[in-house]
């Protein structure tokens, strides 16, 4: 699943990096040295979260 600009919030951190998090789940967040890296890291974390959800669904 590809992130759209409306799916996440991007904010600069005091150390010069960037935080990104999903608008529907603030606990799904990521950090990066650049905005692009933060968004890519968020994309990876979101994909892992979706994969884990499918694994739980299959187990039940």
pLDDT value for 27: 86
pTM above 0.85, yes or no: no
Write the burial class of residue 34 (CB in 10 Å: 0-12 exposed, 13-18 middle, 19+ buried): exposed
pLDDT value for 19: 97
**Residue 31 contacts residue 41 (beta carbons within 8 Å):** yes
Tens-place pLDDT, residues 5-19: 899 999 999 999 999
Tens-place pLDDT, residues 24-49: 988 899 999 999 999 999 999 999 98
């Amino acid at each position: 699943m590809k992130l759209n600009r409306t799916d996440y919030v991007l904010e600069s951190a005091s150390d010069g990096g960037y935080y990104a998090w999903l608008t529907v789940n603030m606990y799904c967040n990521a950090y990066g040295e650049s905005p692009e890296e933060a968004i890519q890291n968020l994309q990876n974390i979101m994909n892992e979260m979706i994969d884990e959800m499918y694994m739980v669904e299959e187990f039940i």
